[in-house]
Structure 1
Amino acid sequence: MDAQELKNYLADSPPSVVRLEIEKHFDALNDKQKRYAHFISRASFHGTRIVARQISPESEPIFDFILALHKTCGGDWKALQAKAGISDEDLGNFLQYAAQFLGNNGNYKSFGDAKFIPRGPESAFTALAAASPEAQKFYDATSGAIFSANKPALLHLGYPEQGHMTTYYPGSSDITKAEIDFISSWMEKKGLLPENTRLIKNKNGSFEILIASAKRTVPSEGGDIGKETTFKIETGDLTGKTITLVYGDYSKELEAITANAKKAAENADNENQQKMFTSYAKSFEEGSLLAFKDSQRFWIRDKGPMVECNVGFIETYRDPAGIRAEWEGFAAVVNLDRTRAFGALVEAAPTLIPHLPWGKDFEKDTFLSPDFTSLEVLTFAGSGIPIGINIPNYDDIRQGEGFKNVSLGNVMGAKSPNEKVPFVAEKDLGVYRKYRDGSLEVQVGLHELTGHGCGKLLQEKSPGEFNFDHKNPPISPLTGKPITTWYEPGQTWGSVFGSLAGAYEECRAELVAMYLSCEFPVLKIFGFGDGSIDINGEAGDVLYASYLSMARAGLTSLEMWDPKSRKWGQAHSQARFSILKCFLEAEDDFCKLDYKGDDISNLTISLDRSKILTAGRKAVGDYLRKLHIYKSTADIENGAKFFGDMTNVDPDFWGTKVRNEVLRNKQPRKVFVQTNTNLDEATGKVTIKHYDATPEGMIQSWAERHV
């Protein structure tokens, strides 16, 4: 790889390190709630090494290398610098890399799935490693992968057969996508859920499904599909091959997680919380995802808690097949003031959803009003922190029992100093800066609640049992004819749409939010305007900032598109780019890119505010309707083609000219320094410790986390 290309993979300099402020919200909890939050935090952070192993083989030894250096110098980095004989610049490059690594829990970006490499010479890291035998041991264990960039495909996460990096299929460089899909289908038919698994292809062609569990043997009463662990494939391309279930993946980590889950159960505020963490403990101890689904049922029923949480193998974005999930866990404190606005949005949702551009046949029979809280994050363990969450991700629970939404306020509001805003015209900067946080809160609320929360999957739930009138199928608003496809028994949204599901669903949810943000009573809920249509008033400012932010996000998303593989590296980015294309293709010159001739060095977005409610909303509605109907009816053939066209990047204009300008103006993505909680065993009281918003503070926080 030449030096120019390599520049795009260098660690941010400097990284944008910000602190998550939590103290005043944590102080409002009683002692028992603080202990509950403490044990959830510990359970969450004990999954750190799981996340590292899910990203790359070198991530865990890099983590240990960084912490070994901190231990060697006791946080006196200047002393270590002198001992290693490296320059100020070399030390700075190491600290910046370490902060970005710890903020992503690995050496691939959580937002974009691209590897990042230290700035400066490899010799500086070698000199630092020589400072202690322990650091040297871990540095040697990275096998040179910290700086390695000689195989461009390995700079991105993806399928092994395409040369990309993945550890969801460890040691199986010859495993094919077809084999992965076949085993996934086999698991689906058996009723074995995939989220907490990894898959190995052995040299003799047999397969092992690794199940994450503290116990290393099948539970005495049997696992989720019984006591049998070895199966022979009877039909299909892999006929005669064997599949073996192997328990105990991440066993050491899950032992600690289980112990802390049990402690959290002891400090629960109510029966739902107690049962939730008892189910968590069973899931993590025995590898049961059926027990995990029970934990999610109790979580849904735990309405309005002071301490909110979720822990486990949750999101499937990083598995190239889109079914295996990364470890994630959070503990957060409810912001009661902001939660009131989200509560009002929940109350309004049943009147908002009928505005969406499809008929009742493609919508849930009853909107299951969820809990929707604004949270201040105490702990978020994983590869990155989102600004909003809508879970659980199990369709049967979501459609029949409900779900929850959370907005993470102190993540959304965290700002680094001197943030630049490229691609927004000078005339729009005032409105953009003033209302971007407010518009983002509206966007996140609608995205999570009505976006992920709306829509019906038309299913044959079991042979002969349908959740719609299959003898008189609904009329598709796209064709004007009865639908011909639906979900067959055992099929789920994820299994049908596979690796496409993540980006597709994020796009659908974003579009729902863009469409419903045009309802001025929604803006009133968040304190903007009086509910009447006023495109030029404050509510109009918020709406304009929302559409402008989405267009800008679509533009900057090109950073996450890889021109070599012509692949998107991040689901949200893929979705937002397609929405920008939707804006640009709208009628009446609704949205344009402004630049002079062939010179795009001063590229800005021009969006006609007066046309948001007409051309803009129509374009959004047309795009949304197609995505929704294809999803609702399991129409993967038309859905995949349509979404593929909308997310396609023309390599000359978008993939080269515009992308180069995006990279030239790239802003560092924020990494968050989080507190640590400490329990005094004698008094039962929990305190928290904050750290400086610096690379040194980030490293110290992890050194004192003891995971």
Structure 2
Amino acid sequence: MDAQELKQYLADAPPSVVRLEIEKHFDALTDRQKRYAHFISRASFGGSRIVARQISPESEPILDFILALHKSSGGDWKALQAKAAISDQDLDHFLQYAAQFLGNNGNYKSFGDAKFIPRCPESAFAALAATSPDAQKFYDATTGAIFSTDKPALMHLGYPEQGHMTTYYPGSPDITKAEIDAVSAWMEKKGLLPENTRLARTKDGSFEIWIASADRTLPGEGGDIGNETEFKIEDGTLAGKTITLVYGDYSKEMALIAASIRGAAENSANENQKKMHDAYAKSFQSGSLLAFKDSQRFWIRDKGPMVESNIGFIETYRDPAGIRGEWEGFASMVNLERTRAFGALVDAAPSLIPLLPWSKDFEKDKFLSPDFTSLEVLTFSGSGIPAGINIPNYDDIRQTEGFKNVSLGNVLSAKAPDEKIPFIADKDLGIYQRYRDGSFEVQVGLHELTGHGCGKLLQETSPGVFNFDRENPPISPLTEKPVATWYKPGQTWGSVFGSWAGSYEECRAELVAMYLSCEFPVLQIFGFGDGSVNIDGEAGDVLYASYLSMARAGLTSLEMWDPKSQKWGQPHSQARFSILQCFLAAGDDFCKLEYNGDDLTDLKISLDRSKILTAGRKAVGDYLQKLHIYKATADVEAGVKFYGDMTHVDPEFWGKKVRDEVLRNKQPRKVFVQANTYLDEATGTVTLKHYDATLEGMIQSWAERQI
């Protein structure tokens, strides 16, 4: 890899370290609520090593290397520098790498799935390792992978057969996508859910499904598919092979997590919370995802808690097959003032959803009004922190029982010092800076509630039983003919659309938000305007900032596209790029890229504010309608082709010229320093400890977490 190529993989210098402010919200809790939050926080952070192992083989030893150096130095990094005899710059580059590593819980970016490497020479890390026997042991265990760049494909997460990095298929470099898909199809047919599993191919060509659980053996009551653990495949692609269920993946971590969850159950505020945590504990102890689904049912019923949480193998973006979940968990406090606006949005949702560009045949019979709360995060364990969440991800629960939405307020409001904003024209900068937070809050609200919360999947729920009129099928607005495809028994949205599902659904939800943000009564809910249409007023400013933000996000997303593999490394970025393409294709000079020279060094977004409600909204609605109907009808062939075309990157203009300018203006992503909680066993009181928003503060917070 030449120096120019290598440049894009260097660790941020420095990363934007931001503190998650939580103290006043935590202090407002009762002692029991503080203990409840403490145990959930401990359970969440208890999965940190799971996340590291889910990213790369070297991530956990790198984590231990950083923690060993902190321990041996006592936090005095200057003294350690002197002992290692390295320069000030080398120490700074180590600390920058360490903070970015901890902020991503691994050595691949949580937003982009690309590896990052230190800016200092390898000799500096070797010198630091030599200062402590433990540090040396863990550094040796990384086997040189911190700095290795000799295999370009390994710089990105993805399928093993394409040479990419993944640990969802451990010890199986030769496993093929076809084999992964075949095992997935077998699991779907058997009713074995995949989120807490990994898949290994044995030397004889058979397969092991590793199930995350504290127990290392089949539970006495049986697993989710009965008392068998070994299955001989008689026909199909896997004919003659054996599939074995292996319990106890991440056994030590799952046992600690289950113990902390039981502590949360003892401090629950109500019966739904207690049943939720009992179901969590059963799932984490035994590996049962049916028990985990029960936890999500109780979670939905736990309306308006002061301490909100969710935990488990949740999002499936990083598994190349798009079905296995990454560990995450959070504990947070409700911001009652901001929650009122989201509550009003929930109340308005039944009148907003019928405005979307499809008939009631493609919408749920009844909108299941969810909890929608604005949260202040105490703890978020995972590879990154989102701005909002809509879960559970199980379609059978979402379609018939409901879901919850949360907006993470202190994540939304966290600002990096001296943040630069490229690609916004000078004339737009004032409005953009003034209203980007407000517009983003509106966007998150609509995205999570109406975006992920809308839509019906046409299903054959069991053989011969349909959730639509099979004799008189709905008429597709795309073809003006009766629909001819639907989900068969056992199929889910994720299993049908596979690795495309995550990005496709994020795009659909973003488009719903862009479409409905044009409704001025929605903007009024969040305190902008009086509900009347006024594109030139304050509400119009918010709408303009929202469309500018989306266009800019689509532009900067090219950082996440790899020209070598022609692969998108981040589902949200892929989605936002396609929405920018939608804006540019809207016609009527609605959206353009403006620049003078061939090198694009003065690249700016030009967006005609006066045409948002006409050309802009129409283009968004047309794009949204296609994505939605293809999803609703399980038309994977047409849906994937269409979305693939919308997310295609022309290599010459977008992949070279525009991407080069995006990389030249790349801004460091924020990494968050989170507080720790401490329980006094004698008194039952919990105290909170904050850390400085510095590189050293980030490392200290992890060292004192004792994961």
TM-score scaled to structure 1, two decimals?
1.00
In structure 2, distance between residues paired with 1:117 and 1:23: 34
Q: Does 1:664 align with 2:680?
A: no
Structure 2 match to 1:43: 43
Shift of 1:122: 0.3
In the TM superposition, 1:344-423 aligns within 5 A as 344-423=344-423
* SS of structure 2 residue aligned to 1:349: helix
In structure 2, distance between residues paired with 1:269 and 1:289: 24
Instruction: List per-residue Cα deviations over 1:582-626 (Å, max 9, x = no partner).
Output: 000002010000001423101000000000000000000000000
Instruction: List per-residue Cα deviations over 1:251-307 (Å, max 9, x = no partner).
Output: 000000000000000000000000000000000000000000000000000000000
In structure 1, distance between residues paired with 2:579 and 2:470: 33
In the TM superposition, 1:427-466 aligns within 5 A as 427-466=427-466
In structure 2, distance between residues paired with 1:597 and 1:320: 39
Instruction: List per-residue Cα deviations over 1:123-161 (Å, max 9, x = no partner).
Output: 000000000100000000000000000000000000000
In structure 1, distance between residues paired with 2:74 and 2:175: 44
Shift of 1:88: 0.2
* SS of structure 2 residue aligned to 1:406: strand
Structure 1 match to 2:142: 142
Q: Amino acid of the residue matched to residue 197 of structure 2?
A: T
* SS of structure 1 residue aligned to 2:17: strand
* SS of structure 2 residue aligned to 1:488: coil
Shift of 1:235: 1.1
Report how many residues are paired.
707
Q: Does 1:676 align with 2:676?
A: yes
In structure 2, distance between residues paired with 1:28 and 1:616: 44
In structure 2, distance between residues paired with 1:412 and 1:149: 34
Structure 2 match to 1:282: 282
Structure 1 match to 2:625: 625
In structure 2, distance between residues paired with 1:235 and 1:404: 41
In structure 2, distance between residues paired with 1:478 and 1:553: 29
Structure 2 match to 1:327: 327
In the TM superposition, 1:137-536 aligns within 5 A as 137-536=137-536
In structure 2, distance between residues paired with 1:538 and 1:93: 44
Do the aligned residues in 1 keep the contact of 2:691 with 2:701 (CA within 8 Å)?
yes
In structure 2, distance between residues paired with 1:563 and 1:624: 27
In structure 2, distance between residues paired with 1:314 and 1:138: 29
* SS of structure 1 residue aligned to 2:678: strand
Do the aligned residues in 1 keep the contact of 2:599 with 2:657 (CA within 8 Å)?
no
* SS of structure 1 residue aligned to 2:601: strand
Structure 1 match to 2:29: 29
Q: Amino acid of the residue matched to residue 696 of structure 1?
A: E
Q: Does 1:16 align with 2:19?
A: no
Structure 2 match to 1:69: 69
Instruction: List per-residue Cα deviations over 1:54-85 (Å, max 9, x = no partner).
Output: 00000000000000000000000000000000
Instruction: List per-residue Cα deviations over 1:437-479 (Å, max 9, x = no partner).
Output: 0000000000000000000000000001100001110000000
Do the aligned residues in 1 keep the contact of 2:65 with 2:135 (CA within 8 Å)?
yes
In structure 1, distance between residues paired with 2:446 and 2:480: 29
In structure 1, distance between residues paired with 2:674 and 2:587: 46
Shift of 1:314: 0.2
Shift of 1:520: 0.1
In structure 2, distance between residues paired with 1:452 and 1:387: 14
Do the aligned residues in 1 keep the contact of 2:200 with 2:209 (CA within 8 Å)?
yes
Q: Amino acid of the residue matched to residue 686 of structure 1?
A: V
In structure 1, distance between residues paired with 2:490 and 2:375: 35
Q: Amino acid of the residue matched to residue 159 of structure 1?
A: Y
Q: Amino acid of the residue matched to residue 41 of structure 1?
A: S
Q: Amino acid of the residue matched to residue 407 of structure 1?
A: S
Shift of 1:544: 0.1
In structure 2, distance between residues paired with 1:234 and 1:637: 29
* SS of structure 2 residue aligned to 1:643: helix
Q: Amino acid of the residue matched to residue 149 of structure 1?
A: T
Q: Amino acid of the residue matched to residue 267 of structure 1?
A: N
In structure 2, distance between residues paired with 1:256 and 1:399: 33
* SS of structure 2 residue aligned to 1:602: coil
In structure 1, distance between residues paired with 2:225 and 2:337: 45
TM-score scaled to structure 2, two decimals?
1.00
* SS of structure 1 residue aligned to 2:8: helix
Do the aligned residues in 1 keep the contact of 2:374 with 2:406 (CA within 8 Å)?
yes
* SS of structure 2 residue aligned to 1:264: helix
In structure 2, distance between residues paired with 1:7 and 1:148: 14
Compute the RMSD of aligned alpha carbons. Answer: 0.4
Q: Which runs of 5+ in 1 are unaligned?
A: none
* SS of structure 1 residue aligned to 2:314: strand
In structure 2, distance between residues paired with 1:587 and 1:299: 45
Q: Does 1:58 align with 2:34?
A: no
Structure 1 match to 2:118: 118
* SS of structure 2 residue aligned to 1:681: coil
In structure 2, distance between residues paired with 1:495 and 1:87: 52
* SS of structure 2 residue aligned to 1:601: coil
In structure 1, distance between residues paired with 2:279 and 2:607: 50
Q: Does 1:584 align with 2:565?
A: no
Structure 1 match to 2:560: 560
Q: Amino acid of the residue matched to residue 642 of structure 1?
A: F
Q: Amino acid of the residue matched to residue 582 of structure 1?
A: C
Instruction: List per-residue Cα deviations over 1:498-532 (Å, max 9, x = no partner).
Output: 00000000000000000000000000000000000
Structure 1 match to 2:615: 615
In structure 2, distance between residues paired with 1:219 and 1:599: 62
In structure 2, distance between residues paired with 1:131 and 1:343: 55
Q: Amino acid of the residue matched to residue 646 of structure 2?
A: M
Q: Amino acid of the residue matched to residue 679 of structure 2?
A: L
Q: Does 1:102 align with 2:102?
A: yes
Q: Amino acid of the residue matched to residue 34 of structure 2?
A: K
Q: Amino acid of the residue matched to residue 579 of structure 1?
A: I
Structure 2 match to 1:79: 79
In structure 1, distance between residues paired with 2:587 and 2:120: 49
In structure 2, distance between residues paired with 1:497 and 1:664: 35
* SS of structure 2 residue aligned to 1:199: strand
In structure 1, distance between residues paired with 2:32 and 2:234: 54
Q: Does 1:640 align with 2:645?
A: no
In structure 1, distance between residues paired with 2:46 and 2:481: 53
In structure 1, distance between residues paired with 2:363 and 2:507: 18
In structure 2, distance between residues paired with 1:237 and 1:29: 56
In structure 2, distance between residues paired with 1:606 and 1:179: 47
In structure 1, distance between residues paired with 2:496 and 2:31: 46
In structure 1, distance between residues paired with 2:610 and 2:285: 57
**Segments ≥4 residues shifted beyond 3 Å:** none
Shift of 1:341: 0.1
Q: Amino acid of the residue matched to residue 307 of structure 2?
A: V
* SS of structure 2 residue aligned to 1:433: helix
